[in-house]
Amino acid sequence: GKTGPYGCSLAGCGTRVERSVERIYGGNIAVEGEWPWQASLQLNGIHRCGATLIGDIWLLTAAHCFRGYLITYSLYPSYIYFDIAVVQLAYPIQFTAAVHRICLPEASYIFPENITCFVTGYGALRDEGPSVGELRQTEVKIIGNEICNRWNVYNGAISAGMLCAGYLEGGSDACQGDSGGPLVTPDSRGIWYLVGIVSWGEECAKPNKPGVYTRVTYYREWIAAPWKPKTFGLYIYIHMMHIAPLFWSVLVSEQAWCLYWRGSHPVLLKEMTTHRD
């Protein structure tokens, strides 16, 4: 099929309603359909994390979003270094103009420093603040790992599987509750690609402390692994990094996780109860 400059198939991915985006933290409210791949992962009706639709039953999010809700394995990765998880839905989503998937870049593609990206989420507008009810967006720039590893920034903490985005002077950033959400950028034709997954940072929009994201190209081959969807009822399965490349885990405790797409009004697409495997 037709491919884009980042190497991804363009079969129905990465298109959206065109809107102007102003300069989450320092951002403005998105309108319905503006970011059609953005999801809200909610536990008992409360927003916990963002996620990104990459297929009709697959979403990408941050592994740390499920800390405390997963069956414990004897060998488990550090969340900060493998902060990526794939969520499998119980049933496929029907794509519409307002709900569809983002494009994934090829593993070999290098997003250049200082390109403009956008981060979206339902998270706090200030450090330690509450999550907000509306999807918000803000503009950030990619900052090279060499700069981000300077002693006065993150002092060597940024690994090859991470990338930084924001402004060294501060002002625009993701914040609490945005975790797991997308960092995206368009190509010259307006096709949107997933650059990163909101992972961590020191406070929000603080000078010399840009947001840190899971680098999607670093995990691209793992994301594209030939998974066979699990067969189950109304459950949510989490696919995470492990020392053996692939394994499945089931959310534990009898609690309800819900997946929402939210524009001007919440729309419940899937409700997933959890069980002990």
Question: Over the stretch 161-179, which tens digit does the pLDDT of each residue have?
Answer: 999 999 998 766 566 557 8
Percent of the chain predicted with pLDDT > 70: 59
| Catalytic residue chosen out of the listed positions 47, 64, 100, 239 | 64
Asked if 178 and 122 touch (Cβ cutoff 8 Å), the reply is yes
Q: Please tell me the distance from the alpha carbon of residue 120 to that of residue 272, in angstroms, as a whole number.
A: 24
Query: 83 an active-site residue?
Result: yes
Which of 241, 270, 240, 235 has the alpha carbon at shortest distance from 255?
Answer: 235
Q: Check if 173 is active-site.
A: no
pTM of the model: 0.78
- The residue with greater pLDDT, 41 or 141, is 141
Contact 45, 258 (CB under 8 A): yes
Binned at pLDDT 50, 70 and 90, residue 28 comes out as confident
| DSSP for 146-163, written as a single string | HHHTSTTTTTT---TTEE
Distance CA 122, CA 178 (A): 6
**65 torsion bin: left (phi>0), alpha (psi -120 to 50), beta (else):** alpha
Q: How far apart, in whole angstroms, are the C-alpha atoms of residue 224 and residue 193?
A: 15
Are residues 133 and 69 in contact, defined by beta-carbon separation less than 8 angstroms? no
Mean per-residue pLDDT for 78-82?
60
In this predicted model, which residue has the larger pLDDT, 75 or 61? 61
Q: Is 242 a catalytic residue?
A: no
Report the alpha-carbon distance of residue 92 to residue 143 in Å, rounded: 36
Kindly name the residue from 40, 131, 172, 179 that is annotated as catalytic.
179
Number of H helices, E strands in the chain: 2, 15
Identity of the highest mean pLDDT range in 36-50, 108-122, 124-138, 236-250? 108-122
- pLDDT bucket at 114, cuts 50 / 70 / 90: very high
Q: Taking the domain 28-272, which CATH number applies?
A: 2.40.10.10
